[in-house]
Structure 1
Amino acid sequence: MGHTPFLRLSNLRSFWSSLVVIITCFTIMMKSIRYNFIHSYSMKQKPNLPPGPKPWPIVGNLPQMLANKPAHKWIHNLMKQMNAEIACIRLGNVYVIPVTCPTIATEFLRKQDATFASRSFSVATDLVSTGYSTTALVPFGEQWKKMKKIVTNHLLSPLKHLWLHHKRTEEADNLMFYVYNKCKMMNDGTYGFVNVRNVARHYCDNLIRKNTFKVRYFGEGREDGGPGFEEAEPVDSIFDLLNYVCCFSVSDYMPFLRELDLDGHQKKVREALRIIKKYHDPIVQHRIKQWNDGLKIHEEDWLDVLISLKDSDNNPSLTFEEISAQIIELMLATVDNPSNAFEWALAEMINQPELLRRAVQELDSVVGKDRLVQESDIPKLNYVKACAKEAFRLHPIAPFIPPHVSMSDTVVGNYFIPKGSHVVLSRQELGRNPKVWNEPYKFKPERHLKSDADDVALTEPNMKFISFSTERRGCPGVMLGTTMTVMLFARLLHGFTWTAPTNVSTINLSESDDDILLAQPLLVIAQPRLPPKLYHL
């Protein structure tokens, strides 16, 4: 009996402890039920991802991508099979969202531009930008803001464009001199062959090299105005880099494989950069020393501008690494589009001689035959610009633009786009979308001519195709890119008569198996059509 009160007290405590446990468990259970209900409800309310192939665990759709190279053809074929203008392909743990519809593209880059203003991390872009120290390839952040401001305001402003006018003219004159020397009449009365790809690429690179370093040649150059080995080697390396900057590499979607470099991209990018820097970096270092020693006080080119920029404490705004990387990025961004557009356009126009005749007639009407085309003529050359614009539409330099990375979850086109998704707008299929373009695979410059009074711009504001990127990630060099492109077209169309080789009935317009360049460099006959004195420097 003496133990009864204690037992009762113990039982009472046990009861209350059990009750607390039961209440706690019940509370947790109810919270769990509530969470699951809300989560389930919210999942039902959330739109689906865009359509796409069923991913494998962990690796996603990487096996399909690797089995169907090149990746851009696999992606485009997949979308056509699904009859989809937006898709979702999971590569590793990354959602890749390709887009071929202008309306959806506009929603990504106009209505929700702030959400998609970042860039992806990749082996190639990391190496090319020296650890993301440049502009175009850099994820959203303070470094990008700093470099974008510098490039836009100090290198590519209208004032700087005017400042470098004479350098562009020098290279346009050298272009005529070089092609003239390549196509001089032989002893048998025939004219020489011209490799149009080679000529166009070196003109573009010469122009940017002159803007940057105030020189045309790293070495001795050639008497005929063409490149020597010291110019050809870095130009080839620039185009090698372009192949890898926007490629689909396994290592970029499964980072733990990067050290293995399974596809060899890292090795090739490093080698191309080594070659370019072999020529660039000694000039940059020497010029920095000249400025530091007071031997230079006036800006003469882009390099001088970059070196002389000061921060609020009067210290250099940019490091050697930033300057070196930004110069390479500028070259990557400027040499590809104009050269590729002219090669494709000339091939198309030789196959449609009436287009070539119309362009030449316009040039003769505006310029005459007693002088060379000048930049001041550009506003009046609407048909020539329409030819360039049509080349940008039908034959872009790359299948996709660099990825725009979503910085938060969002909804586009009634589809859920998760944070971190890589949105890649298809340059190739936007410009060939049959819902937008009549006869999309036919080269028709007149489709861009609304009236004789309207000035033809090479940009496309409604995302029906992409010549220059837009909005926050827009290309700050539209003025320079337009000028380079139109002058390349106008000088060569005005200065020479272009025909296919005598043993060729039509130019083969097949695309390369690996990319969307012309399968073989365009090799054609050029014949001077202006007074000889105009071709001499």
Structure 2
Amino acid sequence: MGFGSVAAATLLFFITRLFISAFSKPFRKHLPPGPRGWPVIGALPLLGDMPHVQLAKLAKKYGPFMHLKLGTCNVVVASSPDVARAFLKTLDTNFSNRPIHAGPTHLAYDAQDLVFAEYGPKWRLLRKLSDLHMLGRRALDDWSHVRVVELGHMSREICRLSGRGEPVALPDMLSHAMVNMMGQVILSKRVFPDKGSESNEFKDMVVELMTTAGYFNIGDFIPSIAWMDLQGIERGMKRLHKKFDVLLTKMIEEHTESAHKRQAKPDFLDTLLIASRESSGSLSMINVKALLLNLFTAGTDTSSSAIEWALAEMINKPSILKRSHEEMDRVIGRDRRLEESDIPKLPYLQAIAKEAFRKHPSTPLNLPRVSNKACEVNGYYIPKNTRLMVNIWAIGRDPSVWENPLEFIPERFLSPDKQKMEARGNDFELIPFGSGRRICAGVRMGIVMVEYILGTLVHSFDWKLPDGVVKLNMDETFGLALQKSVPLSAMATPRLSPAAYVA
């Protein structure tokens, strides 16, 4: 065979390989649109300190179904109800797992918790136990008296501050009340009987965890350099994890020693420890610790954040506060505190909560998911191991979905077309807790807590800005939960009869 024949055969071989490659890897031509990014780092620099905001801006250019290369990772971003529905409902099974990165590895006991565990028997067991004994509808009803008692403590503390002319630091107040609620259900006791340095330190730990877990860690997207920990994020996670582990270990040890006192009426931790002993290894002590971490952090911080945002919006817009007071005075009066059974009769209060969920979703980018296998969505090819982000924040501020989306207008949820809309994962215009099988396990609890605690704060008190403050700062700080950059501090004035605050 002559040189020309060899050259021709070689050329034919490479042309054939290119031809086959082009058709066997259609994602090269049919990935969703998105920014090209840079070599190695991809589009990471485009995200900045407020990824939910930057991704919303990019979606205006590239559309609500967008692909980015973040380091070596394929990422798709859903920024509209229809695209979110395509992933979280139609392809829910394929996107049933979460990517494992530094956060769940170093903070959540190597993803042995309910939030990040692999979808399968272990996850289903954790979810079942949580629903049966804490988060399900019947369980929530069973510990409704705990919420009543704890809000009584909170209301009296606010009255005390009001009598002294001192402002109420809402995040500290909410954190203290909610951790004690969780403590009574999980441990049969208030975790922090007195509000002070210990409870404030715990709140700071929770906020740090939720903020740190939301960071875009370069090592998560470029695994080859993860060992360098360029941003120092993993060092901070390990340090914080040790503090939580000491606290959780102490809780479990003390609880085990006093278990004989609760044989007739075991609490949630008793139930978990019994299940751990009887599960033949399918539920480890690490799983128990990891689940407790979920409940004491995500279970408190996300709800308290939503309440803080809602009350801040109402203080900035007194007409909303006034209308809510009028509704509550008409339905409840001023001789007793609000009860959970009153809430269905308070459509404006429910509308305020929904509007807070819309404009200030606790998890702005939801929690990421990852594709188990390659698939096609809206004509685009999505490779295996592609990470999914749903920009809930962008959906809530999309002018094609919501009229005047930047304004806080609870009345929008009283209109006939939106009155029946719920934040439970079925209406994709409003999915603050996500949707599908990996929807937040505490969705019922979150809605109950926000409506009841917010309703109590509004019904029991009038709220005003501290002297010298013209308008509240409404800037955001990005994290796993969306925090107010400047924590809410406001003056409260009791508006019920004195006897209402006693019980």
Give the TM-score, by structure 1 length: 0.85
Q: What is the match of residue 215 of structure 2?
A: 247
Go from structure 1 to structure 2 and tell me whether the alpha carbon gap of 1:277 and 1:177 turns closer, same or farther (over 3 Å shift): farther
Go from structure 1 to structure 2 and tell me whether the alpha carbon gap of 1:114 and 1:373 turns closer, same or farther (over 3 Å shift): same
State how far apart, in whole Å, the 1-side matches of 2:261 and 2:187 are.
16
Of 139, 142, 150 in structure 2, the residue corresponding to residue 163 of structure 1 is: 142
Offset at 1:83? Answer: 4.3
Q: What is the match of residue 21 of structure 1?
A: none
Which residue identity does 2:300 align to in structure 1?
A: V
Q: What is the match of residue 3 of structure 1?
A: none
Matches within 5 A, 1:272-311: 272-291=240-259, 296-309=262-275
State how far apart, in whole Å, the 2-side matches of 1:532 and 1:155 are.
33
**Contact 1:385–1:458, Cα closer than 8 Å, also in 2:** no
Of 429, 433, 439 in structure 1, the residue corresponding to residue 404 of structure 2 is: 439
Q: Secondary structure at the match of 2:82?
A: helix
Offset at 1:453? Answer: 13
Go from structure 1 to structure 2 and tell me whether the alpha carbon gap of 1:453 and 1:372 turns closer, same or farther (over 3 Å shift): farther
1:120-154 per-position Cα deviation (integer Å, ceiling 9, x unaligned) = 11111112221221111123344323322332334
Q: What is the match of residue 422 of structure 1?
A: 387
Greater CA drift, 46-55 or 351-360? 46-55
Offset at 1:98? Answer: 1.8
Offset at 1:269? Answer: 1.7
Which residue identity does 1:434 align to in structure 2?
A: P
Which residue identity does 1:297 align to in structure 2?
A: Q
- 1:54 and 2:36 aligned: yes
Q: What is the match of residue 303 of structure 2?
A: 338
Q: What is the match of residue 189 of structure 2?
A: 215
Q: What is the match of residue 112 of structure 1?
A: 91
State how far apart, in whole Å, the 2-side matches of 1:424 and 1:452 are.
28
State how far apart, in whole Å, the 2-side matches of 1:416 and 1:474 are.
25
Identity %: 29
Q: What is the match of residue 49 of structure 2?
A: 69
Q: Secondary structure at the match of 2:337?
A: coil
**Contact 1:47–1:415, Cα closer than 8 Å, also in 2:** no
Which residue identity does 2:159 align to in structure 1?
A: Y
Offset at 1:320? Answer: 2.0
**Contact 1:396–1:428, Cα closer than 8 Å, also in 2:** yes
Offset at 1:297? Answer: 1.9
State how far apart, in whole Å, the 1-side matches of 2:275 and 2:206 are.
26
Matches within 5 A, 1:88-103: 88-103=67-82
Q: What is the match of residue 369 of structure 2?
A: 404
**Contact 1:86–1:100, Cα closer than 8 Å, also in 2:** yes
Greater CA drift, 384-393 or 54-63? 54-63
Q: Secondary structure at the match of 1:110?
A: helix
Go from structure 1 to structure 2 and tell me whether the alpha carbon gap of 1:310 and 1:261 turns closer, same or farther (over 3 Å shift): closer
Matches within 5 A, 1:30-49: 36-43=18-25, 48-49=30-31
Q: What is the match of residue 10 of structure 1?
A: none
State how far apart, in whole Å, the 1-side matches of 2:246 and 2:294 are.
16
Which residue identity does 2:44 align to in structure 1?
A: L
Q: What is the match of residue 525 of structure 1?
A: 491
1:371-393 per-position Cα deviation (integer Å, ceiling 9, x unaligned) = 11111112112111110110110
Go from structure 1 to structure 2 and tell me whether the alpha carbon gap of 1:469 and 1:513 turns closer, same or farther (over 3 Å shift): closer
**Contact 1:308–1:316, Cα closer than 8 Å, also in 2:** no
Offset at 1:163? Answer: 2.0
Go from structure 1 to structure 2 and tell me whether the alpha carbon gap of 1:257 and 1:408 turns closer, same or farther (over 3 Å shift): same
1:428-484 per-position Cα deviation (integer Å, ceiling 9, x unaligned) = 101001110000001010111145996674435221132222211012322211111
Q: What is the match of residue 13 of structure 1?
A: none
Q: Secondary structure at the match of 1:335?
A: helix
1:391-447 per-position Cα deviation (integer Å, ceiling 9, x unaligned) = 110112233111010111111122221111111101210100111000000101011
**Contact 1:106–1:462, Cα closer than 8 Å, also in 2:** no
Which residue identity does 1:526 align to in structure 2?
A: A
State how far apart, in whole Å, the 1-side matches of 2:37 and 2:467 are.
52
Offset at 1:316? Answer: 7.2
Which residue identity does 2:475 align to in structure 1?
A: S
Which residue identity does 1:504 align to in structure 2?
A: V
Which residue identity does 1:533 align to in structure 2?
A: A
Go from structure 1 to structure 2 and tell me whether the alpha carbon gap of 1:442 and 1:289 turns closer, same or farther (over 3 Å shift): same
1:293-327 per-position Cα deviation (integer Å, ceiling 9, x unaligned) = x554234422112112267x675763222111111
Which residue identity does 1:359 align to in structure 2?
A: S
Go from structure 1 to structure 2 and tell me whether the alpha carbon gap of 1:456 and 1:527 turns closer, same or farther (over 3 Å shift): farther
Which residue identity does 1:344 align to in structure 2?
A: W
Go from structure 1 to structure 2 and tell me whether the alpha carbon gap of 1:209 and 1:479 turns closer, same or farther (over 3 Å shift): same
Go from structure 1 to structure 2 and tell me whether the alpha carbon gap of 1:71 and 1:533 turns closer, same or farther (over 3 Å shift): same
Go from structure 1 to structure 2 and tell me whether the alpha carbon gap of 1:127 and 1:453 turns closer, same or farther (over 3 Å shift): closer
Offset at 1:196? Answer: 1.9
Matches within 5 A, 1:444-463: 444-450=409-415, 457-459=422-424, 461-463=426-428
Q: Secondary structure at the match of 1:87?
A: strand
Which residue identity does 1:280 align to in structure 2?
A: L
Q: What is the match of residue 237 of structure 2?
A: 269
Of 174, 182, 185 in structure 1, the residue corresponding to residue 161 of structure 2 is: 182
Offset at 1:529? Answer: 0.7
Which residue identity does 2:57 align to in structure 1?
A: N
Go from structure 1 to structure 2 and tell me whether the alpha carbon gap of 1:45 and 1:261 turns closer, same or farther (over 3 Å shift): closer
State how far apart, in whole Å, the 2-side matches of 1:164 and 1:347 are.
28
Q: What is the match of residue 11 of structure 1?
A: none
State how far apart, in whole Å, the 1-side matches of 2:490 and 2:129 are.
41
Offset at 1:30? Answer: 8.6
Q: What is the match of residue 79 of structure 1?
A: 59
Of 160, 184, 197 in structure 1, the residue corresponding to residue 171 of structure 2 is: 197
- 1:329 and 2:294 aligned: yes
Greater CA drift, 509-518 or 484-493? 509-518
Of 301, 307, 325 in structure 2, the residue corresponding to residue 360 of structure 1 is: 325
Greater CA drift, 385-394 or 448-457? 448-457
Offset at 1:504? Answer: 2.7
Of 117, 120, 130 in structure 2, the residue corresponding to residue 151 of structure 1 is: 130
**Contact 1:87–1:98, Cα closer than 8 Å, also in 2:** yes
Greater CA drift, 233-242 or 83-92? 83-92
Go from structure 1 to structure 2 and tell me whether the alpha carbon gap of 1:37 and 1:484 turns closer, same or farther (over 3 Å shift): same
Go from structure 1 to structure 2 and tell me whether the alpha carbon gap of 1:121 and 1:430 turns closer, same or farther (over 3 Å shift): same
Go from structure 1 to structure 2 and tell me whether the alpha carbon gap of 1:496 and 1:233 turns closer, same or farther (over 3 Å shift): same
Go from structure 1 to structure 2 and tell me whether the alpha carbon gap of 1:302 and 1:337 turns closer, same or farther (over 3 Å shift): same
Q: Secondary structure at the match of 2:367?
A: coil
Aligned length: 499
Q: What is the match of residue 4 of structure 1?
A: none
1:24-82 per-position Cα deviation (integer Å, ceiling 9, x unaligned) = x99999998766544434556986112222233333233555xx3344443333333x2
**Contact 1:88–1:96, Cα closer than 8 Å, also in 2:** yes
Greater CA drift, 494-503 or 138-147? 138-147
Of 125, 129, 147 in structure 1, the residue corresponding to residue 108 of structure 2 is: 129
Of 404, 427, 438 in structure 2, the residue corresponding to residue 473 of structure 1 is: 438
Offset at 1:288? Answer: 3.0
Give the TM-score, by structure 2 length: 0.90
Q: Secondary structure at the match of 2:463?
A: strand
Which residue identity does 2:130 align to in structure 1?
A: V
**Contact 1:237–1:273, Cα closer than 8 Å, also in 2:** no
Go from structure 1 to structure 2 and tell me whether the alpha carbon gap of 1:254 and 1:372 turns closer, same or farther (over 3 Å shift): same
